[in-house]
Amino acid sequence: SPKATVCQFLQRRLASSAASVRPSAAEVRDQRSALFSLEQARQRALYPRTEKIEVTLQKAGLQSTLLGSTCGFSALALVDGKPWPLHQPLTQSCSLSLLTFKDTDPLLVNQAYWRSCAAHLCQVLQDFFKEDLHLHLHLITSGAFCCDVVLDPQLDTWNPSEESLRSLTRGAQQQIHRDLPWEPLEVARYFISIPSQEEVEKSAQSPKGTVMLYRCGDHVLLSGGPLVARTGRCAQYEVTAIHPLGEGEWGLHRRAQGLSLPLQLQAHHTVWRKLRSRAENLVEVPTGSANEAVSDTLTPPSARVGEKRGTEPTLLHLLKIKWDIGL
């Protein structure tokens, strides 16, 4: 009918207008990275002079000045007994322990490594699918890491081929070869905009009321735990599978999975093939999470016309991810 035709015409016009106003994924990413740089510069300007502090290196049977060779193999630090990213500045005298993957108890390093691998997978998927992608990450310490994704509804019938997985793996390896740092930045809670009440409760657990942002390249995320120093800490990294999970809150959910080993613990290709075969199986995520974090994600692709999408130019719009740590 003519009335229905007019309604359809107006609906298409409204949809096209909303799309033209909405910033692209690249623009949103650039805004977040620019805000990160501004806040980083502001904090550095608070300390115009380098002050002398005393840092005691704690090592089995050793207390001495920091050795460059030790730092080069380290993935994480302990400052006064607390996990500390290697790129985070020291602002006061402290005791320092450098952690590697070959320590007697590498639990903290392993957890930081899996967080970093999962966050890296998030970056790769965003670069691969460009627009309209929602990500929900999980951390599993029993041999794989995964990321739940919701793609554009037009891709609901898409099934990833081996070539698609190889393309994702190539994208991940390119980032690894660039050896980009995970830059930490501690910011006040009001610096970000998070719609979920769970994140508000989580941020309140911080004694100083602050949260930790990380930037790798132009991707920014909010993590509930420390990450390793650089992407180059990964030696072997492969995207192994993307499994359909069924309909969820924002559409068809899929689980992207990966397998990785650090530079200091590389495996022979025959062992790697066996590990990869296991990592192709669907990763079961336990209910409830031991550690949560918030990721740099995009607005869900199924947002209706008139709903707010994208980000405000003065805020980081960060949505939720969970790090499910099986200890």
- pTM of the complete model: 0.74
Q: In angstroms, rounded to a whole number, what is the distance separating the alpha carbons of residues 84 and 176?
A: 22
- Give pLDDT, residue 171: 92
State in Å, rounded, how far the first CA of the chain is from the last one.
62
Tell me the pLDDT tens digit for each residue of 116-173. Answer: 998 889 888 888 887 656 666 555 545 568 888 888 888 888 888 999 999 999 999 9
Query: Would you give the distance in Å from CA 227 to the centre of its chain?
Result: 9
Taking Cα atoms as reference points, which of 231, 221, 222 lies closest to residue 260? 231
What are the pLDDT digits (tens) for 248-276?
A: 777 888 889 899 999 888 888 899 999 88
- 320 three-class SS: strand
Structural domains of the chain sorted by starting position, each given as residue range(s) with its CATH number in brackets: 46-99 (no CATH), 106-323 (3.30.980.10)
- Report d(CA 185, CA 39) in Å as an integer: 8
Cα torsion angle, 302, 306, 22, 13, sign: positive
| pLDDT given at position 65 | 47
Task: Give SS3 for 247.
Answer: strand
Distance of CA 240 to the CA centre of its chain: 18
8 Å CB contact between 116 and 172: no
| pLDDT tens sequence across 25-39 | 777 788 888 889 999
The confidence score (pLDDT) of residue 241 equals: 92
